[in-house]
Amino acid sequence: MNKILIVAEHDGHNLNAAIAKCVSCARAIESAHVTIAVFAADPTAVAAQAANIAGVDTVVTVAHAANAHALAATLAPQVAELAGGYSHVFGPSTTFGKDLMPRVAALLGAPQLSDVMAVESATRFRRPIYAGNAIVTVEVAAGTQLVATVRVASFEAAKAAAAAAPISAATLKAELPTHTRFVSISAARSDRPDLQTATRVISGGRAFGSAENFQLLYALADKMGAAVGASRAAVDAGYAASDMQVGQTGKIVAPELYMAFGISGAIQHLTGIKDARTIVAINKDAEAPIFEVADYGLVGDLFQIVPELERLIAAGK
């Protein structure tokens, strides 16, 4: 049997949607026994959500005031202590998982695979390297405890369970450091869908020229029920917030529809959108590399096309 521990990402109230995708990845391993660990100040609500994912065998909670904010330095010793006896320790390939899991791996003395995109067996996995320009198949020796982050865009979310998995509470001995302290988080609150789970994403690039012009995209997004993303150039220039960056070093998105406005299609951007079902590119340069991956391409000026699309889409409803 392969015992797999998945570390839950949550905001204290809601389980992150990435976790149901981690469960699908874990379930792809033969004879898997899947446990979700919830570390929180009060894990009750999140644990109940975790227990309701199909394919989860058990949920373990660790309640501690120090777990009110997800700090890798605080969580890692707890995860490492809990991980004894598990063959695999998984987290999502979000900033939460990327921050935490390597710290866990080093405490365990275990190797880590980042961004697992496919499972071939309990010891053999595939992952992208070089901004997705190559896919490598990697094998660990049987019996080696493995830590991994799951590239969530590569997996469908596991469905809701018919019956909830049992939840148990664990008490840990790990000494928690006080050298790392949470100060604040500034998250732009918006009613728009989340980039990484949205079914439609529309992104803007350097071509917008200013933060004011970038607003054009929000107006269209609201008509479409889409999330808004951006290229690195647009974020660097201050047109969009850093958490909107899509690509190798930003977020990987996998929507039904991805529309790129005034984005050239650098490899670092493309690697973040290749999992989209349908890609649409709008660019005034007919030679822009983005057209090589687009299902629909439109050559033209976005300052005309964005308002036009907004009108046409609104009219059709």
Partner 1 sequence: MKRILVAIKRVVDYNVRVRVKPDGTGVITDGVKMSINPFDEIALEEALRIKEKGLAEEVVAVSIGPADCQQQLRTALAMGADRAIHVQTDAVIEPLSAARIFKSLIDREQPLLAILGKQAIDDDCNQTGQMLAALWGRPQATFASKVEVGATSATVTREVDAGLETIEIDLPAVITTDLRLNEPRYVKLPDIMKAKKKPLDTLDPAALGVTPAEQLRALKFEPPAQRSKGVMVKDAQELVAALRSKGLV
Ligand X SMILES: Cc1cc2nc3c(=O)[nH]c(=O)nc-3n(C[C@H](O)[C@H](O)[C@H](O)COP(=O)(O)OP(=O)(O)OC[C@H]3O[C@@H](n4cnc5c(N)ncnc54)[C@H](O)[C@@H]3O)c2cc1C
Residue closer to partner 1 (CB basis): 30 or 292: 292
* 241 interface partner picked from partner 1, ligand X, none, CB below 5 to 8 A per type: partner 1
> Quick one: what does residue 73 bind among ligand X, partner 1, none, with the CB cut-off 5 to 8 Å set by partner type?
partner 1
Residues 97-126, interacting with partner 1 (CB under 8 A): 98-107, 109-115, 124
Helix axes 302-316, 211-224, angle to 10 degrees: 20
The contact pattern for ligand X, residues 188-217, with x = CB under 6 A and - = no contact, is: -----------------xxx----------
Q: How far apart are CA 263 and CA 260, in angstroms?
A: 6
Work out whether 211 is an interface residue with partner 1 (CB under 8 A): no
CA distances from 270 to 26, 246, 280, 299 (A): 27, 9, 12, 18
State the binding partner of 72 from partner 1, ligand X, none, CB within 5 to 8 A by kind.
Answer: partner 1
Minimum CB distance to partner 1 smaller for 59 or for 270? 270
- Please state, in angstroms and rounded to a whole number, the distance separating the CA atoms of residues 109 and 92: 20
Residue 301, contacted partner among ligand X, partner 1, none, CB below 5-8 A by kind: ligand X
| Residue 234 found at the interface with ligand X (CB under 6 A) | yes
Residue 222 in contact with partner 1, rule: CB under 8 A: no
- Candidates 1, 65, 162, 185; binder of partner 1 (CB under 8 A) is 185
Min dist CB 229 to ligand X, Å, is: 9
Which of ligand X, partner 1, none is residue 262 near (CB under 5 to 8 Å by kind)? ligand X
User: DSSP letter string over 238-286?
Assistant: TSS-GGGBBSTTSB----SEEEEES----HHHHTTTTT-SEEEEEES-T
Type of residue numbered 243:
D
- Residue 250 C-beta: closest distance to partner 1, Å: 9
Cα 288 to the center of its chain, rounded Å: 28
Interactions with partner 1, residue window 27-86 (CB under 8 A) = 71-73, 76
* Given 14, 121, 215, 249, the residue binding partner 1 (CB under 8 A): 249
> Near ligand X by CB under 6 A, which window of 3-11, 71-79, 159-167, 247-255?
247-255
Question: What values do phi and psi take at 179, rounded to 5?
Answer: -80, -5
User: What is the rounded distance in angstroms from the CA atom of residue 18 to the CA atom of residue 152?
Assistant: 6
Query: How would you list the strands of the sheet with 88-92, edge to edge?
Result: 112-116, 146-150, 88-92, 2-7, 32-40, 58-63, 167-169
Beta-bridge mates of residue 228 = 202
Non-local CB neighbours of 120 within 8 Å, separated by 6+ positions = 126, 137
In this complex, which beta carbon is closest to partner 1, that of residue 180 or of residue 215?
180
Which residues are near ligand X by CB under 6 A? Answer: 205-207, 231-234, 245-250, 262-264, 266, 268-269, 272, 283-285, 288, 301-303
